[in-house]
A and B are shown apart, each in its own frame.
Chain A
């Protein structure tokens, strides 16, 4: 019995922490091509503080992210992914980053940056 109480105390912080967060789940399209893109996009997302989980689906290009809106804004997530070389609906990758992507990752750009 004592152990159970100790255990509940041990996990209580996690539950309390969860309550303070403003967790949001969003899906948007991220341009990319292959498994290397997937690794790059997801690694970038996981590198952002406040991102809990992220997946990018290769065939549909849908990017799904769960994040804490108190720690990071959705615009920042778009910007970080774009900075890694992948265009999103809200941010465009810098040309020099895009051009330095490996051959297989060079997706067709929808919007031409002037």
Chain B
């Protein structure tokens, strides 16, 4: 609190340049989407005083005495002149120019749903809301189905929760942030992605490789940041309903309102449930869990563009329940007995965060940012006779200052962060408690040559009670050898404390004996994990038969210096021990994007993963990690600017053979079969306000026949529901609608 006060005092003492300003935002609407327009020329009529809109379409301009006629000019759009009398903020929608010269057509091309940058030093993939609509359902964990950079895996046969991987490494090795505040971590590592409903997401930014130093030292393979809807820009009222034939129903309601000219608030309500018991494979176990989730989110936004302040205060409450296991299991009478095998996972979570940003008047490159977040996570769970409870409270604080060295070719970010985490776990009756405390400082320098080069070099120093004091360097460079290309190089280090039980929660869906081979380390008797990541990426835009496309080649290597190895290799045991020898993840990706016809675009990707670790019995590919993956997506979209038309989408995933640890079902040295999955969705857009969609996941009904090992004796030592490599349920059909009041 004292920190905040000092920070605020410091800012208020700084002289503010008071001048009467006209502010506003320039937007452009296409296909029911609103985009900001960057680079619009804004000037007072018959004067030389003017400005250009920034990347959010925003501008601020000193009032002119001679005129009140403000001109907006942008190539490919109609030039508009507005009379500006009041001090009210201007929000102006620009209209595309019609019937003008042909060479302007290129500018009005549809904005791509996934945008990969040519200019950033980092390998950044921007996913906007149009792409998120392709996967109709339903939460953050399911938002990556149409994105080849992220792989979606099935984690276990019981909860059916989808796990994501990037560069061949699972989500604990990624830094997952929500508006730049670390979110899916610790206790929420496995199920956390399902706690963010899809409609709350405004956009997602994926950074492959080391990433920035500003949000901590934990990222190893990459970073995923989610921007949520903002009360100021989201629709005043939005309704989404979804239902699928496997008995899942979802409802979303957004309500946003302006409280005053500076304050707006939004209330977001999400509920989902699955009440239908299904057992299509007749193994006596539910194919999908019975679930119920209530998720409430309230946020307040303060915007004072004249003074340069923006602030958010957010509160969120989640109650999530999952029940799975035998279809005859009754949680009221059968818990703790060996009559029927059942499992229940109840989670309650509360999050609160405060963000304050200040941009210096005139000096748009200089700003302060302050973030503070508190989370409390409380999970109570049992799996048959096993118990796993975790309580995790955490606090995160970040203070950031952005400015330049001399001129805007040389920018820097510097600041400090603090984090505090308190864990309390009950594992099969044993109690584990731990507190992590860390204070860190960082400095990141960005050089932009304005032409061919960009460099981002960052370093941070952290003092952690369990990891010690250490430096984390990270470096990214981009070079453009010729037109429409980008060559990128990066390296960086990351570290983390392995929360072995929370990260491997699927182990409780087995009767394996847990062995932690302690070596006097600070976390569960194990040393923390430490790795270097190196990456090389090349992107080239091309024009074929007069149509645009691009090609991307990525090669990344993550090399562990220290790792907590999760060893499933011996039947009836799961072992955790520190790495002795080598462990690495090499990933290669070739991606081709092409838009051959009007309204139609295609994306193809091939991925190769060599993820190998020295287990007690030698160097082996990580289990359940396919070496080969292939991805294809075709999209058709003829929705007119007036908001009428069709959107259709077809996605294919090929998943290669996966190594299986030896077990009674598959035997020794076995591999899973390769398989392919088809997903399709079709949306009818009636107006910018209303659309309906129909889709299917897994059209060809691909499934794993006996997902649960030793299903007849669920209390026997060989019972194992964790070795799942394909869908359990088979094909699924869903339908939904979206309505918004704009």
Contact = CB atoms under 8 A, between A and B. Distances in A.
B447 to A, nearest CB: 12
A70 to B, nearest CB: 15
B49 interface: yes
B450 interface: yes
Contacts of B401: 11, 14
A8 B2 CA distance: 13
Interface stretch (A23-31, A78-86, A104-112): A23-31
A55 B52 CA distance: 9
Chain B interface size range? 35 or more
Contact of B404 (A52, A57, A59): A52
Interface in B546-562: none
A62 B41 contact: yes
Interface in B647-663: none
A53 interface: yes
Contact of B451 (A7, A19, A39, A52): A39
A28 to B, nearest CB: 6
Contacts of B48: 27-29, 89
A53 B3 CA distance: 32
Nearest to B412: A14
B52 A64 contact: yes
A27 B43 contact: yes
A46 B407 CA distance: 7
Contact of B407 (A18, A25, A53): A53
Tell me the interface secondary structure of chain A in the complex: mixed
Contact of B450 (A42, A51, A60): A42
A66 interface: yes
A57 B414 contact: no
A59 B52 CA distance: 12
Given A1-B2, A3-B439, A39 B450 contact: yes
B693 to A, nearest CB: 38
A62 B3 contact: no
B52 A57 contact: yes
A89 B415 CA distance: 43
Interface in B319-355: none
B462 to A, nearest CB: 11
Most buried by B among A1, A14, A29, A43: A14
B408 interface: yes
Interface stretch (B235-243, B292-300, B359-367, B722-730): B359-367
B404 A15 contact: no
B14 A15 contact: yes
B289 to A, nearest CB: 45
Chain A interface size range? 20 to 34
Contacts of A14: 401, 403
B357 interface: no
B329 to A, nearest CB: 53
B414 A11 contact: yes
Contacts of B15: 19
B362 A25 contact: yes
A75 to B, nearest CB: 15
A27 B51 contact: yes
B316 interface: no
Given A4-B3, A52-B363, A27 B75 contact: no
B454 to A, nearest CB: 14
A52 B416 contact: no
B404 A8 contact: no
B39 A57 contact: yes
A113 interface: no
Contacts of B441: 3, 7
A41 B727 CA distance: 57
A103 interface: no
Interface in B389-433: 399, 401, 403-404, 406-409, 414-416
B2 to A, nearest CB: 7
Contacts of B6: 4, 8
Contact of A8 (B10, B39, B41): B10
Nearest to A12: B10
B50 A27 contact: yes
B73 interface: yes
A7 B450 contact: no
Contacts of A19: 15
A53 B404 CA distance: 10
B479 to A, nearest CB: 15
B363 A64 contact: no
A4 B41 contact: no
Given A8-B10, A42-B450, A53-B408, A62 B52 contact: yes
A66 to B, nearest CB: 7
Nearest to A7: B416
A11 B366 CA distance: 12
Contacts of A64: 51-52
B407 A10 contact: no
B363 A66 contact: yes
Interface string B46-74: 00111110000000000000000000011
A46 B410 CA distance: 11
Closest 4 CB pairs of A and B: A53-B408, A59-B75, A60-B41, A27-B50
Interface of A: 1, 3-4, 7-8, 10-11, 14-15, 18-19, 23, 25, 27-29, 39, 42-43, 46, 51-55, 57, 59-60, 62, 64, 66, 89
Given A52-B407, A55-B52, 20 more contacts: A4-B399, A7-B399, A10-B414, A11-B401, A11-B414, A15-B10, A25-B362, A27-B43, A27-B48, A28-B48, A42-B450, A52-B363, A52-B406, A52-B408, A53-B365, A53-B408, A57-B52, A60-B73, A62-B52, A66-B363
12 contacts: A4-B3, A4-B399, A7-B399, A23-B362, A27-B49, A27-B50, A27-B52, A52-B406, A54-B407, A60-B75, A62-B52, A64-B51
